[in-house]
Amino acid sequence: MNALLLVALGALLVFLIMTALWLLGIRNRNFSYVDIGWSGNFALLALLYAALAPGWDTRKWVIAAMYALWSIRLAGHLAKRIVGEPEEGRYVELRQRWAANLNAKFFGFFQLQAVLNVILALPLLIACLNPEPSLHVLEAAGVAIWLVGLIGESIADGQLAAFKRDASNHGRVCDVGLWRYSRHPNYFFEWTIWIGYAVFALASPWGWLALAMPALMLHFLINVTGVRATEEQALRSKGERYREYQQRTSMFVPLPASRKKQQRNID
């Protein structure tokens, strides 16, 4: 199956998933489901591309496993936080901001995430189209980088979840473990995962195109749905405590105490 047909099938699949989640969001008055859909869709695209692309089977299933394992872990983590809980603060804020034509605007938002699914799956597609019957050193390096990111993100998410489970921490800022060195270690290691995908794809024809994905993801993590939105909500809910945390802790890259002052100037 050629690349254009694969992309079309993938786009149709994620469009249908996001439409179903949008309808569920209307029904339950909780549009936070978009986060579960965005993260989980990559596992579906991984299975689709690995099953139907004409590349070498071993390479296809290695990159598919990388996407799927990360996708399923993140979707499961988000589902625990979202399903059965009130709508998350950033979506409550959007609900207020988009009060006029609310459902239509959220439909566009959900489908934008579907478009991003297809775009960000480019490293996966490129690797799955490669017929070369052997793995390259760049692909091994990509797996190693991806593994560091996956482990780091899992640890950061686990530390934050444990902090929130402790009732005595209500209203406090999580500054333990990795969160002592970065205000957003989960986002940093998320970005590391995307570097791993891009490095893996570099071994395939047209692999250089995949280098745009970590750059795009970095933009979204910092300026769009990640750091900026999270910090705005944290300042609304925690106020001065979070401002003090901002002053003493690196925004993104985990840094030791001796370099935090320099990083604050960069932030």
pLDDT tens digits, one per residue of 25-74:
999 999 999 999 999 999 999 999 999 999 999 999 999 999 999 999 99
Predicted confidence (pLDDT) at residue 260 exceeds the cutoff of 60? no
pLDDT in tens, 161-218: 999 999 998 889 999 999 999 999 999 999 999 999 999 999 999 999 999 999 999 9
Provide the percentage of residues in the chain whose pLDDT is more than 70: 96
**CA 40, CA 207: separation in Å to the nearest integer?**
24
pLDDT value of position 265? 41
Compute the C-alpha angle 96/41/88, nearest 5°. 25
Q: How far apart are CA 150 and CA 146, in angstroms?
A: 6
pLDDT of residue 257: 60
C-alpha distance from residue 94 to each of 28, 46, 105 (Å): 16, 31, 10
pLDDT tens digits, residue range 15-33? 999 999 999 999 999 999 9
Mean pLDDT, rounded, for 79-105 = 90
How high is the pLDDT of residue 234?
Answer: 86
pLDDT higher than threshold 90 for residue 233 = no
Kindly state the percentage of the chain with pLDDT values over 90. Answer: 76
Rg (CA), the chain: 19
Instruction: Please name the residue ranges forming H helices in 2-136.
Output: 3-28, 33-52, 57-82, 89-97, 102-120, 122-128
Look at residue 108 in the predicted model and tell me its pLDDT. 96
